[in-house]
Structure formats: C-alpha cells, structure tokens
Structure 1
Amino acid sequence: MEFTENVDPIIQGYAQGYFLMGDENNVLGWYSSRQRALIPLDERFRYPKSLKRVLNQNIFSVAIDRDFMGVCRGCADRQTTWIAPELIDIYYQLHLAGYAHSFETWQGDELAGGILGITLGGAFLGESMFFRIPNGSKVAMVKLVEHLRGKGFTLFDAQLQNEHLARFGSYLVSDQEYQKLLQESLNNPCIFV
C-alpha cells in the first residue's frame, strides 16, 4: 500500500467499516470482518471484580495523547504484530490531523499501558492496546469507556473478539448491523479531547 501524507483516503476507508493491518511481511491491506466486536458504552459494560480493587487504589493516572508514539510502539512491541512500521507512520499522520489518539495510564512518570484508537464522529475505533505494568491496559479500558460516555460517543469498535475483551462485556454484531451503527455514529459530532 502506498501512503502519502493525505489522510483523506485512510479516513474514508475507516468510515466505510474497513481497518488497516499488516501481514507477516509487513504489507498493509484493508480488512473487514463478517462480525465486529463492540465494547458496550451502556450498562452492559463490565469488568472483573479484582479490577475494582485496583481502580479504588488510584495507583494509575490517565492522560490523552501525552505519549502517542510511545503507545504506538507499545502496541507494536510483540512477538508477532500486525502493526507494521508503515502503519505507525499512518497513525502518526492521523494523530497530527486530529483523528488518532492514545488513551494512556501512567504510574508516576512511567507509561503503564494504553489504548490506540481513531475517532470519527461519535465512533471510537479501537486499534490496539498494551500494558507494561500489570492492569495498565485494563484500567485504561475502564477509564476510556467512562471518557467516551462523558463525551457522548455511541460506538466503541474493538474490531475482533477475544477472551480479554469478553471480560469487559464485548459482543459481536453482524457486518450489516455494524455498518448501520457506524453510519449513525458518524453523524454524531463528538470531540474526543
């Protein structure tokens, strides 16, 4: 995939329900799924009881975009990753254009964890998450949902279902239902920061 600094085609792809991923050779492509994993922004959102104790201890602070590139690197720093170097460049250009954001947890001056996502209207399109300190990404998830609710967001797209997301009440919708929810969210003007 050839990328220029014009983010419009990238935004159009996400607005149509696609997402970017790199393959095992770091070649980027557009992907979609027959079913999409969503994080509920209503009473269906939940988290493990053990996390409630961590939240009550207030051992993490939260920040938005304090270390955007650090979150990108943290999300990509895995044995196998779909976040190709070119995709980090795209995320950075989307960040400069006001679309991509990092929602971070900190312990003192140390980045504990974070979630990388793209905002379009009232949709938060979660790209990836990571942690360096135990519970860093879990606390980020809870605090991000609180933030999205407070800002009037109506869709939190997690793309693909996994066991970790299921602990937070994630659920699957068909592509047809996802497209409907996405279009409704695109017409809901929200400001993330």
Structure 2
Amino acid sequence: MRGLTPGQLLTAYAHGVFPMAESADSPELHWFDPHRRGVFPVGAVRASRSLRRDLRRGGWSAYLNRDFDAVVAACADRDVTWINAPLSALYHTLHKAGHAHAIEVHRDGQFAGGIFGVTLGGAFFGESMVSAQTNGSKMALLWTSSHLARRGFVLFDTQFLTPHLRSMGGVEITRQAYHQQLRKAVRLRADFGVGTLPGADQLWQEITQTS
C-alpha cells in the first residue's frame, strides 16, 4: 500500500480499520480489522495499589501535545516496531490537522513515558505507548483516560489487548460490538487537543475513586 493520504487514513479509522507495517524498514502498510478488539472503558483505567502509591509519592507530571513527534519517535525506538517512516509522516500530518495527539509523562523533570493516538469525533484510537522509566506508560494511560472523560470521548480503542492492558482494565469485545460503538462515537464532537491535564494530586484523587 503506497501513497496513503491522511484523509484516507481517517476514513479507514471511521470504518474500524487501521494500518501497520511489518517493520520500521518496510515501506508497505497492511490493513487490520481484528475479530476481537481491545478497548478501555473511558475514565476507568484501573490503577493497582502499587501504582497509586507511586503516583502519590510525587514527582509525576503530564503534558498535552508538548512534543508530538518526539513521543512517536520514542514509541518507534525499539527492536521490533510497526511504525515505519510513512506512518510517522502520516501521524505528523494528522497532528498538524488536529487529528493526532500525544500525552507525555515526566518524573522529576525527566521523560518517563507517553502515548499517542488518532482522534475522530468521540473516538480515540490509541496507537502506541512507551516507558522510559518504571510505570511511565501506565501513568500515561491514567492521564489519557482522565483526559478523554473530561473532553467527552466515549471510545478508547487499544486495537489489540495485551496482558499489560488487561491488567489495567482493558477488555476485548467482538468486531460487531466495536463497530457499533465506533459508529456512535464518530458522530460526536469532542476535542482532545484542548484543556488542561490534572496535576498528579488531582489524578490520584480521581483514580482512588474508580480503582
């Protein structure tokens, strides 16, 4: 698949399909529409007792769209990745158009982790996340879930469900159920790219009420 445009990519997302590359060096993209889809209940990502304690210790902070391209690059910087150069370029263009966003987490002023994804209506399609410090990606998930709930999103798509995502409250639903939720979500109006992320103390109070 060559010459994919940002508009075509958004149309694919609206129909429940997403692309991945075989590797960073592969120029080809392949479409996926899994029989079972991973999703998070918006605003209800689960935090373990140890994760809540770590958040409570302090030093954590989160930033919205502070350096989108850096988060994408960090997510792709691993031995095996599905993010190739064409996808990175598409995500960059979607970010400039307001359809792709990143949450970046720091601890004691140092990059600790992050997550990025594509938005359409009230749906957030989580693409990838990364940890540079212990619990970095988990904290990014907590902040992302909180922000999605605040901004009126109703669908948090994780594509596939991993044991890590399941441990934090992720679930699998059928393709049919996912497409039903997707059709409703894309009709809504929500804006991920605005608003202030809560501080660590406020986030801790939120998750202790839901975990």
Normalized against structure 2, the TM-score is what?
Answer: 0.86
Deviation of 1:108 after TM superposition, in Å, equals 4.5
Per mean C-alpha deviation after superposition, the further-off stretch among 102-111 and 29-38 is: 102-111
Per mean C-alpha deviation after superposition, the further-off stretch among 103-112 and 141-150 is: 103-112
Matches within 5 A, 1:73-92: 73-92=73-92
Matches within 5 A, 1:22-171: 22-24=21-23, 26=26, 27-41=28-42, 43=44, 45-171=45-171
Deviation of 1:28 after TM superposition, in Å, equals 1.1
Cα distance in structure 2, aligned partners of 1:63 and 1:179: 31
Runs of 4+ off more than 4 Å: none
What secondary structure sits across from 1:158 in the alignment?
Answer: strand
**Contact 2:124 2:156 (C-alpha < 8 Å) held by counterparts:** yes
**Cα offsets for 1:5-62 (capped at 9, x unmatched):** x42111101111011100145221221100100011255x312111001111232211
**Contact 2:17 2:32 (C-alpha < 8 Å) held by counterparts:** yes
Counterpart amino acid of 2:185?
Answer: S
Counterpart amino acid of 1:11?
Answer: L
What secondary structure sits across from 2:113 in the alignment?
Answer: strand
Cα distance in structure 2, aligned partners of 1:42 and 1:106: 21
**Contact 2:37 2:175 (C-alpha < 8 Å) held by counterparts:** yes
What secondary structure sits across from 2:62 in the alignment?
Answer: strand
The total of aligned residue pairs comes to 191
RMSD over aligned CA atoms reads: 1.4
In structure 1, runs of 5+ residues without a counterpart are none
Deviation of 1:123 after TM superposition, in Å, equals 0.6
Identity across aligned pairs (percent)? Answer: 37
Deviation of 1:107 after TM superposition, in Å, equals 2.7
Counterpart amino acid of 2:47?
Answer: Y
Correspondence 1:15 to 2:43: no
**Cα offsets for 1:54-105 (capped at 9, x unmatched):** 1112322111111111111111111111111211111101111110111110
What secondary structure sits across from 1:80 in the alignment?
Answer: coil
**Contact 1:103 1:116 (C-alpha < 8 Å) held by counterparts:** yes
**Contact 1:60 1:107 (C-alpha < 8 Å) held by counterparts:** yes
